[in-house]
A and B are shown apart, each in its own frame.
Chain A
Amino acid sequence: MTSTIVRPEASVSELEDLSYELREKLLLLCGEYNGSVHIGGDLSCADILTLLYQYGMRVDPQDLRNPERDRFVLSKGHAAVCMYITMAIRGFFDYREIVDTYGQLDSAYGMHPCKVQLPGVEVSTGSLGHGLPLATGMALHARRNGMSHRVFTLMGDGETGEGSVWEAALAANSNNLGNLVAFIDRNRQLMTSFAEERVKLEPYPDKWRAFGWNVIEVDGHDMGALVTAFDSLPEPDSDTPTVIICDTVKGKGVDFMEANLAWHAGSLNETDLKRALASLAHGRKAA
């Protein structure tokens, strides 16, 4: 069956440009918003979200309810603003509106995504460890109804400490959901610690293999590698769910935020915003 929704055409260098645009817009919002933004975890998953929305997923901003669309569940709900802006770049929302209303009374755009206030997002999330069960239910619906789309979710590595993630990992494999793809933003930082210091997730890929999942490991900031990983996904009608473990850096792209526990969340004054944008631009030139 041919889908009525086509994937966007984008080269790796175009995707890199879109990722840059996303990070720049994130920082600008962070500079304008008079409150805290989860900028560290936004920057670590910016390339993954760009891959999904500007390359991988069959979605149509003009046809939100098309049954053939790929589904996306943002399990790490605190990266909502990164998703909003990615979706704005794709044509779902208006970036200016996001910046002008973010976090304000009656705005649809807040710290964690709300399906009721913002119907353009697939689900409401925020509490960690909830996304994979939701995505599993959606993938089960597709599988049992013979539908050919995929269901994607993005989790932080820290949230995989939640037991509900592993309950769903069992359920997804037990129900042969090859149409389910979980990206993990493996930035190796929790809110207050570096992951392996307090929580020993390693051997991390083996944990997923032990739960019966197909495991792909990739540099989460190498767009070419991300595209290759995406292109190697098994067909949606296959029987094994896939996890793509993306090796990332929290705060990626802004030197003073990278792997810095102080930048789990924060706000940018005028000086810091300039420094951040300069660092981002410098990194691009160097690359």
Chain B
Amino acid sequence: MTSTASTAEVTSFTFGEMLSSRTVIGQTLKELGEANDNLWVLTPDIGATLVEFRDAFPDRFVDVGLSEQACVGLAAGLAYEGNIPVVSGMLPFLSMRALEQVRSDICYPNLPVKIVGTHGGLVGNGGSTHYAVEDLGLMTSLVNMTVTSIGDPLMVGEVLRQSMSMTGPLYIRLAVGKKDKVVYEPGSVTVEIGKGITAREGTDLTLFAHGETVSQALEAAEILAAEHGTDARVVDMFTLKPIDADLIQRCAEETGRFVVVEDHLAYGGLASQISDVLVDRGIRLEGFQRLGIPQVFAGFGEDTELRDKHGYGLQATVDAARDVVRGAAG
């Protein structure tokens, strides 16, 4: 789809460390702004993390204040003029308040606008107004939209870099983006939009995740291996659209059982995308469970507390994996 990049490009951070995706975004946008004189950054009053770009390229920075619809509309207008606009803000508002602008002003004419934002999932403790929990369902429904959800902060920069050559719109979902775990040893994985990343090999089942649940899935896999003798594969399906159907099929053939865990409504997100591939390709699994947010408006609490409460935390992931493996055994 696009050229690939390696995590080796950013070497100052190390595996397992906590790093801010927002910092990576700020640095990457400045770097990309130097290389692309038509790169713009727009924000509806969420600009604190964009200071580096703003200071370096004030003529290509716009803060419209609290006007998400105008922000996306302006970005479309700029894209019509040959620019590459990046809209940065909080996803519950960009994905819903400005949804029609995203759909009709960006996707319909297939403009290269990137939407990158935080608060994907039950993160930030802002309450239900401030959690984007249906955004991936909305965005994957939009014609022409490419949809990603990223956990590893180093990947954010790579996806942004790759997106410079994309001709259509792109959605990049982050969680809080303040302190995220570096999931991959720098240089250890190839990031390519549209291709899932096998974060851990395994043969008994596949744990599919995206965003911050990738590191949770990896943790669950370690527990499954150490305590239950279960060998779980972990796939970071950071691109939800276009979905990597071939990888899903291969995982089905090689492991036979899936658990999908995501910080999104359990229906409408990755699990639904995977289900569609399975049905469309006539693939029958020996076991399948989806873990995600049920049909509730979740309350306050820290992200791990909320995941536990709503049934898609670490323990729930381990339990679901054991269930599908046991179910298969009989």
Please report A residues at the B interface, Cβ cutoff 8 Å: 114-116, 122-124, 126-127, 129-130, 132-142, 144, 163-164, 167-168, 170-171, 174-175
B101 at the interface (CB under 8 A from A): yes
Cross-chain contact A141 with B81 (CB below 8 angstroms): yes
B278 at the interface (CB under 8 A from A): no
Contact with A along B76-117 (1 / 0, CB 8 A): 111111010100000000000000110011001110000000
**Given known contacts A116-B110, A137-B76, is B70 in contact with A127 (CB within 8 Å)?**
no
Q: How far is the CA of A171 from the CA of B59 in the complex (A)?
A: 15
Cross-chain contact B77 with A134 (CB below 8 angstroms): yes
Cross-chain contact A170 with B65 (CB below 8 angstroms): yes
CB distance from A90 to the nearest CB of B (A): 21
Please, which residues of chain B bring their CB within 8 A of the CB of A142? 81
Q: How far is the CA of A115 from the CA of B107 in the complex (A)?
A: 12
Cross-chain contact A133 with B105 (CB below 8 angstroms): yes
B311 at the interface (CB under 8 A from A): no
**Given known contacts A124-B109, A140-B74, A144-B59, is B101 in contact with A133 (CB within 8 Å)?**
yes
Please, which residues of chain B bring their CB within 8 A of the CB of A163? 69
**Given known contacts A116-B109, A123-B80, A144-B59, is B74 in contact with A137 (CB within 8 Å)?**
yes
The answer, among B64, B72, B83, for a CB contact under 8 Å with A141, is B83
Please, which residues of chain B bring their CB within 8 A of the CB of A130? 73, 100-101, 104-105
B62 at the interface (CB under 8 A from A): yes
Please, which residues of chain A bring their CB within 8 A of the CB of B83? 141
What range describes how many residues of B lie at the interface? 20 to 34
26 A–B contact pairs at CB < 8 A? Answer: A115-B109, A116-B109, A122-B80, A123-B76, A124-B109, A130-B101, A133-B77, A133-B101, A134-B105, A136-B73, A137-B78, A137-B80, A137-B81, A137-B85, A138-B77, A140-B74, A140-B78, A141-B78, A142-B81, A144-B60, A164-B70, A167-B67, A168-B67, A168-B70, A168-B74, A170-B70
Q: How far is the CA of A123 from the CA of B110 in the complex (A)?
A: 11
Please, which residues of chain B bring their CB within 8 A of the CB of A144? 59-60
Cross-chain contact A133 with B108 (CB below 8 angstroms): no
Please report B residues at the A interface, Cβ cutoff 8 Å: 59-60, 62, 64-65, 67, 69-70, 72-81, 83, 85, 100-101, 104-105, 108-110
Cross-chain contact A171 with B81 (CB below 8 angstroms): no
Q: How far is the CA of A174 from the CA of B109 in the complex (A)?
A: 27
Cross-chain contact B104 with A127 (CB below 8 angstroms): yes
Q: A136's closest neighbor in chain B, by CB? A: B74
**Given known contacts A123-B109, A126-B104, is B65 in contact with A137 (CB within 8 Å)?**
no
Closest 10 CB pairs of A and B: A137-B77, A133-B73, A167-B70, A167-B67, A137-B74, A141-B81, A164-B69, A134-B77, A138-B77, A137-B78
CB distance from A126 to the nearest CB of B (A): 7
Cross-chain contact B64 with A171 (CB below 8 angstroms): yes
Cross-chain contact B69 with A138 (CB below 8 angstroms): no
Cross-chain contact B69 with A137 (CB below 8 angstroms): no
Cross-chain contact B73 with A134 (CB below 8 angstroms): yes
Q: B105's closest neighbor in chain A, by CB? A: A130
CB distance from A199 to the nearest CB of B (A): 19
Please, which residues of chain A bring their CB within 8 A of the CB of B105? 124, 130, 133-134
Cross-chain contact A137 with B73 (CB below 8 angstroms): yes
CB distance from A163 to the nearest CB of B (A): 7
Cross-chain contact A134 with B80 (CB below 8 angstroms): yes
Instruction: Using A138-B77, A170-B64 as known contacts, list a sample of 11 further A-B pairs with CB atoms less than 8 Å apart, ordered by residue number in A.
Output: A116-B108, A124-B108, A126-B104, A133-B105, A136-B77, A137-B73, A137-B81, A167-B67, A168-B73, A170-B65, A171-B64
